[in-house]
Amino acid sequence: GYEITFSLLNPDPKSHTVDWDIEGAVNRFVKPVLDKLSLVANFSVDSQILYYAVLGVTPRYDKESSSFLLSAHSLPHVINPVEARLGSSAASLYPVLNFLLYVPERSHSPLYIQDKDGAPVSTNAFHSPRWGGIMVYNVEAPASPQTSLPLHVDVDMARVMEVFLAQLRLLFGLSQEEVPPEFLLESPGNEGLADWELDHLLWAHTVENIATVSTTLTSLAQLLDKIGNIVIKDDVASEVYRAVASVQSAVTELSLGHLLAAFQASKEAVTCSERAFFDPSLLHLLYFPDDQKFAIYIPLFLPMAVPILLSLAKIVRETRLRKKEPTKMD
């Protein structure tokens, strides 16, 4: 599963009153894509507005363009200060994909992002793998200095969602393919995801799941071989058998081209292998082996054993002395 969070960052609410129709934009642009991706994973979507949330990096002022610039090497330092304000990852059981719309404060506006070559980024946005993306949304300066504040800003959600959906595709490994001129490439259409791209995702996740199950079961077998006194319950053994059978089924379905069936079988295999590996009956033996038992109990029993051993040695010594003494005859 994945949790997708759309956040609007308004660091200067005294200057800008930002209005964004996030619910309508999600239903119009994001929901068709997630409905098609529902075969791969489960998704939940939420949104939030954060006030007085700054990027944490001071942009550089450029006199020639009369604007502020964020260079490519400073972009990694933007995420950590912002992530501390999001708070969504602390309450989620699933990985969180963050999409941030940042409206620059009036003192740092307009704000543009530069690439590695120093050229401005056309989308004025950037993304971080496995985390999400950030888009800077500049507000036009008022024509008259006497304009009353705060300025009312209506966000163009079509332009914003175009960038966020492109970043979402990149986060799932769906980049724009370069094909020869004589090839005809299917358009993603309104769903933002072509059928062949979905097949590619199913195939990639199936292969990844099969590799994960193989690694998990191999690690479990190696651990069990090292522990001689371990007892394997029937339910643990059945989970291992089900995982192996599901992997074999996934490989067979994959070879036949049945991608959805192969993906479902690989998911079942991952679930069974994880249940077997983290079964409570195995955890206390896996993480509490015999050498640790000796290390814990020897300091406790050694002080008690010393007087007992000394007493036994004394008894043995006295018994030997008694046997050596001559027997008195009347």
Whether residue 117 sits in one domain with residue 161: yes
What does the alpha-carbon distance between residue 275 and residue 217 come to, in Å, rounded to a whole number?
11
Which pLDDT band, with edges at 50, 70 and 90, does 25 fall under? very high
The CB-side HSE value for 193 (13 A sphere, CA atoms) comes to 26
pLDDT digits (tens, 9 = 90+) for 41-76: 889 999 999 998 888 788 888 888 888 888 888 888
Whether residue 104 sits in one domain with residue 25: yes
Task: Read off the pLDDT of each residue in 8-24 and give the average, rounded to a whole number.
Answer: 89
pLDDT the model gives residue 286: 56
User: 167 with 127: CB under 8 angstroms?
Assistant: yes
Q: Is 42 inside a domain boundary?
A: yes
Q: Is 178 inside a domain boundary?
A: no
Q: Is 40 inside a domain boundary?
A: yes
pLDDT digits (tens, 9 = 90+) for 151-191: 888 999 999 999 999 999 888 887 766 777 888 877 766 67
Whether residue 299 sits in one domain with residue 276: no
Mean pLDDT of the chain: 85
Q: Is 78 inside a domain boundary?
A: yes
pLDDT the model gives residue 89: 57
Whether residue 228 sits in one domain with residue 243: yes
Whether residue 90 sits in one domain with residue 152: yes
Whether residue 54 sits in one domain with residue 167: yes
pLDDT the model gives residue 326: 62
Q: Is 99 inside a domain boundary?
A: yes
Which pLDDT band, with edges at 50, 70 and 90, does 146 fall under? low
Residues 6+ apart with CB under 8 A from 268: 242, 246
Whether residue 199 sits in one domain with residue 123: no
Q: Is 179 inside a domain boundary?
A: no
Q: Is 263 inside a domain boundary?
A: yes
Whether residue 12 sits in one domain with residue 83: yes
pLDDT digits (tens, 9 = 90+) for 224-279: 787 766 777 888 899 999 999 999 999 999 999 899 999 999 999 999 999 998 88
pLDDT the model gives residue 45: 92
Query: Range of 49's domain?
Result: 2-172
Whether residue 245 sits in one domain with residue 121: no
pLDDT the model gives residue 292: 66
Indicate the residue type of 46: D
The pair of three-digit structure tokens given for residue 7, joined into one six-digit string: 């956040």
- Flag whether pLDDT at 214 surpasses 60: yes
Whether residue 262 sits in one domain with residue 308: no
The number of distinct structural domains making up the chain is 3
CATH (domain of 280): 1.20.1270
Which residues are paired to 60 by β-bridges? 69
Q: Is 327 inside a domain boundary?
A: no
Whether residue 115 sits in one domain with residue 48: yes
Whether residue 150 sits in one domain with residue 267: no
* pLDDT higher at 32 or 293: 32
pLDDT the model gives residue 54: 82
Q: 11-41 as b/e, with b when 16 or more CB fall inside 10 Å?
A: bbeebbebebebeebbeebbebbbebbeebe
